[in-house]
Amino acid sequence: MNMVVCIKQVIDPEAPPASFKIDPSGNKVMPPAGVSPVVDPYAEYAVEAALKVKDAIGGKITALSLGSNQLRDIVKKPLAMGADELILLEDEAFDGGDSWSTAYALAMAIKKIGDYDIIFCGREASDWNAGQVGSGIAEILGLPSVTLAEKIDITDGKAKVQRSTDEGYEVVEVSLPCLITASNEIGEPRYPTIKGIMGAKKKEPVVWKLADIGVDATQAGAQGRHSQLLKLFQPAREGKCEIIEGETPEEAAVSLAVKLREVKVL
Amino acid sequence: MAENKGVLVLCETKEGKLASISTELLGGGRKLASDLGEELAAVLVGSGVAGLAQEAIAYGADKVYVVDDPILKDYQTDSYLPVMEKVVGQAMPQVLIMGQTSIGRDLAPRLAFRLKTAAVLGCLELAIDPQSKKLLQTKPVYGGNAQAVFTTDSFPQIATVRPKAMTPLEPDQSRKGEVVKIEAGLDPSAIRAKVLEKVPEEVTGIKLEDAEVVVGGGRGIGNTEGFEQLEALAKLLKGAVGATRPPCDNGWMPTGAQIGLTGKIIAPELYIAVALSGSSQHMSGCSGSKTIVAINKDPEANIFREARFGVVGDWKKVVPALTEKLKELLAK
């Protein structure tokens, strides 16, 4: 089973909210000082999904990461977790992209990899929360896709995917090759083992530039966008909370109950 | 090439009726269509859905496209995608709206890539720019830490909208509209990803998304027993219990109880937020609540900036006293 997992390096979404700042240009977020970037947590679920398939039936996992200034220690994490290869699509021309230009570049890189049975993506990424790259890659490559996967079983050359729905879940049977996006129900991504970390240290990623994957500059990054970002802002908080006081917490609770009746909330 | 005009809403059905997300989208879509001075159309895709066309009209649609075929009983990417491609080709809308549901989230991006246009998923607000007449799409990004406004130059402009972000119109059964039938014309062998089985989540009591009162607990609740106390308060108020992410990750609460960007979206009359800090991630799932009451021992917790009323104190003391007093007051 040959698998490709798309990952990316992002600003740590667990960084304290107070450190979150928008660049004065108003169209990007400033990396918080002193907080190291991380592998997108949603992408880690995709890595975990691929590792679970590898555990069950064996196979080879290639992690694929697009961006500029990718810190090797960060983006090597999938290798430390158990992936076999790492390919970086690293070119400044990828900067400022949207789901379109990103999916296009990833799809072209996957075409170049050539031999794949399943492509995994996170259901979205923690920065722009776009939730489109997986479906976009599938459409560009003409593959069937199953989004929001909670569980994957491979039998008789097909994947049986438990897909999260608003009502519960559904079981979808899909022919291979296919694209699957992983949801958090897939299970906590495993911690890298010491052996994994040592192995990852010794492995050098393959680096591909724009020209290596046959993508024209007009289709990459900001130039290849299909959507325009008009404004990025932090919504204002109202901050009009009425604190209900009391000698003891119990007294305050009683006053709160009375208040909620008074203002007819209850 | 014909011009793209008007607004098209993909309607979902539930238990033989229009799903609540769809009546919301028709309400919001009606406003956008009026701002454009153009038509609001709805599309019904499914099996045995033709009878709902009049309901869509009552909720604001001027025209309803119906694609009714047994093969469309379940949502499957490979069947709905070509059907929607066909419908869009015929309707030629400027704007196409779907719900941010397990259908919309799957279909919208794939359709956008097929039609070489762009989609914006999980919008909170849609508006028409008065000058350009383009659709402006506002959505939370960076886990709710910020919001972004997008637009697109290509048509249709596709958006999915989060539940409870728009308001349905009062249905008017006397409204008249046109119904247009479209053949699915699908080849079953082209469906590569097949739905074998659908398993509904087991819910005891009131569903979180439908409850008028929600009691939510965070990491500070500490364990399953703690949530039982919240359950007692919720039961008294005929409400439901939800949680932030850590209690679900720790197994104190089921995954389905998670409220937030990666969980359920609620907009109850009253949200009682207990021992939770009010992270952006969580708030983006409950900021539509009419009244938020915060109980937290940390006076600096972000939740007090979001709440209307607050008590600073240990929830273990506040919640039982609040439950007792409310029991007494509600009995009167």
| Same domain as A183, residue A142 | yes
- Give pLDDT tens digits for B230-248: 999 999 999 999 999 999 9
- Counting the structural domains of chain A, the total is 2
Shared domain check, A243 and A206? no
Rounded to whole angstroms, the Cα distance separating A35 from A223 reads 30
Residue A231 lies in a domain: no
- Quote the domain boundaries for residue A265: 236-266
Is A72 in a helix, a strand, or coil? helix
CA distance B318 to chain A (A): 5
pLDDT of residue B137: 98
Average pLDDT score over chain A: 95
Q: Is B116 close to A126, i.e. CB distance below 8 A?
A: no
Task: Judge: B322–A253 Cβ closer than 8 Å, yes or no.
Answer: yes
Which of B309, B323, B330 is the mutation pick for testing A, counting most A CBs within 10 A? Answer: B309
* B11-59 per-position pLDDT tens digit: 999 999 999 999 999 999 999 999 999 999 999 999 999 999 999 999 9
Minimum Cα–Cα distance from B123: chain A residue: A130
pLDDT band at B1 (very low <50, low <70, confident <90, very high): very low
Question: Does pLDDT of A64 surpass 50?
Answer: yes
Q: Minimal Cα distance from A177: which residue of B?
A: B192
Residues of chain B with pLDDT > 70, as a percent, come to 99
Does the pLDDT at position B311 exceed 50? yes
- For chain B, what is the domain count? 2
Give per-residue pLDDT as tens, A225-262: 999 999 999 887 666 899 999 999 999 999 999 999 99
Size of interface A-B (CB pairs under 8 A): 245
Residue of B13, B142, B207 to mutate when probing chain A, most A C-beta within 10 A: B142
C-alpha A244: how far from chain center: 41
Distance (Å) from the alpha carbon of B280 to chain A's nearest alpha carbon: 8
Residue B41 forms part of a structural domain: yes
Over residues B267-300, the pLDDT tens digits come to 899 999 999 999 988 998 998 899 999 999 999 9
Name the β-bridge partners of B273.
B216, B294
Distance CA A107, CA A133 (A): 10
pLDDT in tens, B313-328: 999 999 999 999 999 9
- The answer as to whether B204 is a domain residue is no
pLDDT category at A127 given cuts 50, 70, 90 is very high
Does B198 reside within a domain? no
Q: Given this model, what pLDDT does residue A36 score? A: 95
Indicate if A79 and A116 belong to the same structural domain: yes
Q: Are residues A162 and A266 in the same domain?
A: no
CB contact under 8 A, A164 and B102: yes
Domain holding A122: CATH number?
A: 3.40.50.620
Q: Which strands, in side-by-side order, build the sheet including A242-243? A: A242-243, B309-312, B291-296, B270-274, B213-217, B240-243
Contact state of A145 with B110 under an 8 Å Cβ cutoff:
yes
Domain-embedded: residue A229: no
Residue A167 lies in a domain: yes
Nearest CA in chain B to A142: B114
- Please check whether residues B147 and B242 belong to one and the same domain: no
Residue B128 has pLDDT above 90, yes or no: yes
Q: Is residue A23 part of a domain?
A: yes
Please check whether residue A115 touches B, CB under 8 A: no
Q: Are B40 and B94 in contact (CB under 8 A)?
A: no
Mean pLDDT of A165-170: 92
- Interface list for B 187-246 with A (CB within 8 A): 192-201, 213, 237
pLDDT at residue A20 is higher than 80:
yes
The two beta strands, A38-39 and A9-10, are antiparallel
Please give the pLDDT value at position A80. 98
Residue given tokens 């053949």 in the structure block: B183
My answer on whether A163 and A262 are in the same domain is no
- Give the pLDDT mean for B147-164: 95
Residues B133 and B186 both lie in one domain: yes
Residue B195 belongs to some domain of the structure: no
Contacts of B56 (CB under 8 A, 6+ apart): B11, B18, B22, B26, B42, B44, B64, B177
State the pairing for strand pair B135-141/B146-152.
Answer: antiparallel
List, as ranges, residues 239-298 from B with C-beta within 8 Å of A: 249, 255, 261-262, 269-270, 279-281, 291, 293-294
- Residues in B closer than 8 angstroms to A230, CB to CB, are 136, 149-151
Domain that holds residue B290: 213-331
Mean pLDDT, residues A31-39 taken together: 93
- CA A240 to chain B, closest CA, distance in angstroms equals 6
Please tell me whether residues A126 and A175 are part of one structural domain: yes
Same domain flag for B121 and B219 = no
Instruction: Tell me the chain B residues in contact with residue A187 when contact means C-beta distances shorter than 8 Å.
Output: none
The answer to whether residue A98 scores a pLDDT higher than 80 is yes
- Looking at residue B245, what is its pLDDT? 92
Which residues on A lie below 8 Å from B322 (Cβ)? 253-254, 256-257
Beta bridge partners of B67: B45
pLDDT of residue A238: 66
Provide the mean pLDDT of chain B.
95
Is residue A249 domain-shared with residue A203, that is, in the same domain? no
B281 membership: H or E segment, kind and range: helix B280-283
Provide the CATH number for the domain around residue B273. Answer: 3.40.50.1220
The pLDDT of residue A218:
95
CB contact at 8 A, B80 and B103: yes
| Same domain? B15 vs B162 | yes
Q: Are residues A156 and A250 in the same domain?
A: no
Check CB contact of B161 with chain A, cutoff 8 Å. Answer: no
Residues B149 and B234 both lie in one domain = no
pTM of the model: 0.92
Cβ of A266 and B140 within 8 Å?
no
Tell me the CATH number at B49.
3.40.50.620
> Which one of A145, A166, A229 makes the best mutation probe of the B interface by having the most chain B beta carbons within 10 Å?
A166
**How close does chain B come to A126, measured CA to CA in Å?**
6
Q: Do A135 and B329 touch (CB under 8 A)?
A: no
Q: Is residue B47 part of a domain?
A: yes
Alpha carbon distance B294, B283 (integer Å): 12
B300–A contact, CB cutoff 8 A: no
Query: What percent of chain B has a predicted confidence (pLDDT) above 90?
Result: 89
Q: How far apart are CA A233 and CA B75, in angstroms?
A: 36
Is A130 inside a domain boundary? yes
Structure tokens at A192: 């890298």
Residues 6+ apart with CB under 8 A from B222: B252
Q: Are A250 and A195 within one domain?
A: no
The mean pLDDT value for A89-102 works out to: 96
Whole-number Å distance between alpha carbons of B320 and B229: 7
Whether B196 maps to a domain, the answer reads no
